[in-house]
A and B are shown apart, each in its own frame.
Chain A
């Protein structure tokens, strides 16, 4: 059966605790380098004043997205973008719910407009002067797979390069106990409908059922993968880091996996 969607990877970005960018992640995964100390994501794309006051979710998503676009050599202004996240900015949601329970009239207007799920997409398009379509999606526990399917679909359907970023931050407060997200992680890919300028091809085919992908057997990677729904991208990102052709499954919905064939040129 031929793949439902074929896209090429033109750019990759990542932020994980101990791996502040894609190159650091590749050094850890492919060359055995030791993970570093977790720091604050560096989102160069945002203007300095925005970087200082941006919510954590925005910094995290923009850090990964900025790396992927830089690697692609494309202009962010021209790229439609899909920002996926299971839970959005849980720190802000926790603040909102706490404030509404105690002193609703004191709710911060800035926190409110930063609470929308498309805040990272909004800040990203403003910072990059991007007038293309932008979206903010969720798929709950399957947010990464749902976002990958949407971004690849958009790239093929509109014959355009597309930016995908998937991010989640650690939960906090009573909400955090419900979402069971324990740490931050973000990844980004620039997906292209054509092979030009890309070394890795992804053939993506939806398949019925959810298979248990199991642990990778690497304590650091497995801990990140278990920390939040966007980190379910870890097996794919590891395969990209190893630059090795392989196949894997990514859950995209209840009862729906994506079979992903990763083909590395030469």
Chain B
């Protein structure tokens, strides 16, 4: 078992998804149980399904100085970075610590592959068309490279691409680097945007629902794909700090199957116990869990059983995929932000989309929105390849 970790301050955080741009849009949608899914109108031959699409990306190219990086994924990242004063907070961290002491650690599953797909649809004599002759876009590192360049940061710069756990795991990368003194602050988070690879890919695996997704519903029939970007700045807390805290994280592997979770949720359970151990917590200490809850048959079955057998009824739990869709590599940071809002606002998001609870679910499930004092929250993120992550957050002063 790992040792407890020194908590880290979350100096700034933000998210943009189908619920809107920035924290207020997310808090408001959650408070009113207003989801953001809409019929799929993405791509040249839209599949009959629902998506969590961010409005307006097509009309907002990157500033001229960053034009080489322009693509849907980096545009969404840029839009998100402009919300809630986040870009200013990054610049302040750079000013305070120096460009080489601030890391950029970002998760994504497909980065700007949408631009590569676009190039293949418009090949010029078998080659990438001239306007997409930009090698920085055609690589998984496009997002992290873009953010580091946009803020002129020269610390460690890492892309984590472990499918749907990507932007949860970056919190762990940051904690290790800060604890060992390699850096003083980290910009963590991630971005994934709608693209044909994931829409047709999940469709080929028969995991996409033709309706808005229904996490933990007995009749659920698959996921709804969404897009999102979110970011946070992590640094050491100062005396009297009132920032929310990262208090733990866990990472583990299923060692079972590339696209199906372990039937008993072994990796998920190991990630959870790892996170609780680093946070120095018992299950009864946890007030809220933002579940991975994709509305796929297997994920929800395994996760419902894990929560039901581990936590008391006083721990509240819900999936917010019914609000945003499954934002894949961005799900970790988006749901971390939603967990931080639950702590800030005292709101337990309702498990939007489910009408008939799966009987595997325990009394922990918050089927509708609730008000509660949330001092400690967990966020689960599980990915293809059996890659599991769990994050633990606390309100300032909630843990000794």
Contact = CB atoms under 8 A, between A and B. Distances in A.
B140 A121 contact: no
Given A117-B162, A143-B141, A149-B156, A132 B204 contact: no
Contact of A131 (B163, B173, B177, B254): B254
Contacts of A121: 162, 253, 385, 387
Interface residues on B, range: 35 or more
Contacts of A114: 258
Interface stretch (A25-33, A60-68, A96-104): A96-104
B255 A125 contact: yes
A146 B257 contact: no
B128 interface: yes
A88 B149 CA distance: 22
A208 B102 CA distance: 12
Interface in A93-113: 93, 96-98, 100-101, 104-105, 107-109, 112-113
Interface stretch (A10-18, A40-48, A171-179, A231-239): A171-179
B243 interface: no
A77 to B, nearest CB: 8
A97 B163 contact: no
B201 A107 contact: yes
Interface string B1-43: 0100000000000000000000000000000000000000001
B116 A175 contact: yes
Contact of A157 (B43, B158, B176, B383): B176
A138 B117 contact: no
B99 interface: yes
Nearest to A142: B157
A135 B204 contact: no
A121 B258 CA distance: 10
B123 interface: yes
B384 A122 contact: yes
Interface in B381-398: 383-387
Nearest to A145: B156
B326 to A, nearest CB: 14
Contact of B200 (A100, A123, A129, A134): A100
A100 B148 contact: no
B344 interface: no
B140 A256 contact: no
A171 B109 CA distance: 19
Contact of A174 (B43, B120, B139, B175): B120
Nearest to B98: A208
Interface residues of A, number: 66
Interface in A71-102: 80, 86-88, 93, 96-98, 100-101
Name B's interface SS. Answer: mixed
A130 B253 contact: yes
Contacts of A136: 160-162, 385, 387
B201 A115 contact: yes
A140 interface: yes
A98 B202 CA distance: 17
Interface in A107-166: 107-109, 112-119, 121-123, 125-126, 128-140, 142-143, 146, 149-150, 153-154, 156-158
A5 interface: yes
Contact of A117 (B100, B128, B140, B251): B140
Nearest to B181: A4
A157 B173 CA distance: 10
A117 B256 CA distance: 17
B253 A132 contact: yes
A144 to B, nearest CB: 12
Given A146-B157, A208-B100, A135 B200 contact: no
Contacts of B385: 116, 118-119, 121-123, 125, 134, 136
B200 A131 contact: no
A123 B176 CA distance: 26
B72 interface: no
Contacts of A149: 156, 158, 182
18 contacts: A4-B180, A88-B140, A100-B200, A109-B201, A117-B163, A121-B385, A128-B255, A137-B161, A138-B141, A138-B161, A139-B144, A140-B159, A149-B158, A174-B120, A178-B134, A179-B138, A253-B156, A254-B145
Interface of A: 4-5, 80, 86-88, 93, 96-98, 100-101, 104-105, 107-109, 112-119, 121-123, 125-126, 128-140, 142-143, 146, 149-150, 153-154, 156-158, 174-175, 177-180, 206, 208, 252-256
Given A96-B117, A109-B205, 19 more contacts: A97-B117, A100-B196, A116-B109, A118-B163, A121-B253, A123-B385, A131-B266, A137-B160, A137-B161, A139-B141, A143-B141, A146-B157, A149-B158, A150-B173, A157-B180, A174-B119, A179-B139, A253-B148, A256-B100
